[in-house]
Amino acid sequence: MKIALLAVLGLALGALGGAALGIGAGLTWIGMARTSGLDSGTLVFFTFMPLGAAIGGIGGALLFAVVAIRDAEIVIERQPVRQRDR
């Protein structure tokens, strides 16, 4: 259950971060191509932002799931503290 919850959290955070990076990439693309007007806005918000959100969501979900799986494999057991002989 922990792995699934962390994967969903990674999906949400990755999608938000990817969308933000997609907007930045789209604005950079428009600046380099020197376009303006309504077409440039639709290009950014209907192409770059969804692509960035999809890639970021998948990447975040995979990253968080791998971290959760590795955390489940590494079990750290505490050794009982030994009493000193008096």
pLDDT of residue 76: 58
pLDDT of residue 74: 57
30 falls within a domain: yes
- CA pair distance 55, 41, nearest whole angstrom: 20
Q: How many domains does the chain have?
A: 1
Which amino acid appears at position 54 of this protein? A
pTM for the model: 0.73
Average pLDDT over residues 25-50: 87
- CA pair distance 46, 63, nearest whole angstrom: 26
86 falls within a domain: no
State the Rg of the chain over Cα. 22
83 falls within a domain: no
78 falls within a domain: no
- CA pair distance 15, 37, nearest whole angstrom: 27
**Between 24 and 81, the higher pLDDT residue:** 24
**Between 84 and 66, the higher pLDDT residue:** 66
Domain interval for residue 21: 2-72
